[in-house]
Amino acid sequence: MGALRLTSMRKTEIKIAKLHSGQIEQYEQLHRNIPAAIEKNLREKGITSLRIFREGSTLVMIVDIDPDMEKKDRLIDEAIQSEWNRLTGNCFADFWKDATEIYRLAAGMETSQDYSTRDGLKRIANKLTNGHQVTVAFIGGSVTAGEGASDSNATSYRALVCQKLERRFPEVAFTFINAAIGGTTSTYGAFRLEDHVLDHAAVDLLFVEFAVNDAGNRTESIRAMEGIVRHAKRSNPQIDICFIYTARRSGSESYSSNRRLQDNIYNHEEVAEYYQLPSVNIAGAIYNKIISGEIKWEDISGDEVHPNDFGYALYARVIEDFLDKELIVPNEKYEDPFALPSPLDSFCYENGKQLSPLIVNTSSNWRMIEGWTTEQIFNWAPTADIFFGETPGDEFQFSFTGTAVGISLLAGMDTGDIEVSLDGGAFRTIPLFDRYCLMFYRPIIIVFSEQLDRGTHTVNIRISSEKHETSSGHAIRILKLLVNE
């Protein structure tokens, strides 16, 4: 019989202080650049969360302490600690004092939670403490890319989270992968995951953000998000995966009236719950701030979706609060037997791949063009290798083994329609031109079929003689062939 393990009582302390009116900006600046040694000392004292709020010159500090997490033999850099105390101490008119609690609402009231921990981030928490190299990847749409930020590589939520990790773990050599493509859904994410993320490194932590861009179709979202999870887990059983749910103006308006988040979030949560993955609900956090009157949508964004720098800082703070609680090594050794459950959807895109168009059997005038570019391109790098055709009737064929097939392409001003035949069946026309094509070229995907029998199939694609009336041509610029093997 094992020995009974006694644990200390966790506690929360609330303290108040007052700043000199002329030192407010100095104090806030200091806390935007806290030395890593100071944060390390706080954590080794058993502090699991520390938040400071300001109203005028008055400060309120809320500290969560778990004595079991205190490192008894911690080493303190006395010089850095002394200098930090001197710099911050000069800012105070009245130093920190304990606040006296006079009232507490009884438990049982429904509360809003900004994240769901589930199985947490135990694997990467262990590696961050014991390892020297860690890879963190982000896959998502334009919000993850940093659209709307003054500098996407410095002030987006992705960049801010990366900076936070580097400050907190200065001894770790981080590799960060940015696999965001604006305007794309989790379906494209599932097909490009291998090329854009998994082939670059053994990823330790993968953030997945598509709750704004997905169209609300439950089957499609689950099929894609589950595909991402299963593909990543098979690639590296030790990977931690976290879903990110970002906000949009229409979602805020709907939530204000009926307290319901956008459908995509509930669809993604099904997958997160099934695989016990943590998820961070930025959307809910932002919507509640708007309802309380703390902020307005116009304060954080100039359009329907994309935050400004202030908005991105709020987004990052929600994620950082989650990481502050999760990236703490458990006292006991963490064992992680690898065993994926059966899939929610047997047609999920867990074997999604991008194939080169060079595998096709060509005819007529289809040809590869390397380094194609134009000034009118959006959500894509300046150049692209494309498989190009522009003459109605030009056709090619390829074969694959799997359950789903499609293409990714760059659609723009002169994009035409295509006709597709599967396994010798009748051709059907697929329009590709939409209202965005009038403004720029951008990446889109078309999935021809997603519930095929497992086996080998043949696809014929030809350029249609039909096109949208406002398109200037019949051009088709294919990036990759998409298959779910």
At residue 31, φ and ψ (nearest 5 deg) are: -85, -5
- Of 199-208, 254-263, 351-360, which gets the smallest average pLDDT? 254-263
290 Ramachandran zone, left/alpha/beta (phi>0; psi -120 to 50): alpha
Name the pLDDT band for 364 (thresholds 50, 70, 90).
confident
pLDDT tops 90 at residue 18: yes
Question: pLDDT higher for 173 or 364?
Answer: 173
How far is 277 from 118, CA to CA, in rounded Å?
6
Q: What is the pLDDT of residues 384-394, one digit of tens each?
A: 899 999 999 99
**Rounded average pLDDT over 250-263:** 90
How far is 54 from 60, CA to CA, in rounded Å?
6
How far is 408 from 447, CA to CA, in rounded Å?
9
Mean model confidence pLDDT for the chain: 89
Q: How many percent of the chain have pLDDT more than 70?
A: 92
pLDDT tops 80 at residue 109: no
Contacts of 165 (CB under 8 A, 6+ apart): 136, 172, 174, 323
How far is 264 from 221, CA to CA, in rounded Å?
7
Q: What is the pLDDT of residue 336?
A: 60
pLDDT tops 60 at residue 258: yes
Contacts of 460 (CB under 8 A, 6+ apart): 395, 396, 397, 420, 421, 427
Q: What is the pLDDT of residue 248?
A: 95
Q: What is the pLDDT of residue 5?
A: 32
Q: What is the pLDDT of residue 103?
A: 62
Identify whether the C-beta of residue 438 lies closer than 8 Å to the C-beta of residue 469: no
CA separation (Å) from 372 to 66, 184, 334, 368, 385?
57, 21, 49, 10, 6
Question: pLDDT higher for 437 or 75?
Answer: 437
Name the pLDDT band for 33 (thresholds 50, 70, 90).
confident
Name the pLDDT band for 144 (thresholds 50, 70, 90).
very high
- The Cβ of residue 199 has, within 10 Å, a number of other Cβ atoms equal to 9
If you write DSSP's letter for every residue of 264-328 in order, what string do you get? HHHHHHHHHHHTT--EEEHHHHHHHHHHHTS--HHHHBSSSS-B-HHHHHHHHHHHHHHHHHHSS
Residue 339 CA, chain-centre distance (Å), reads: 24
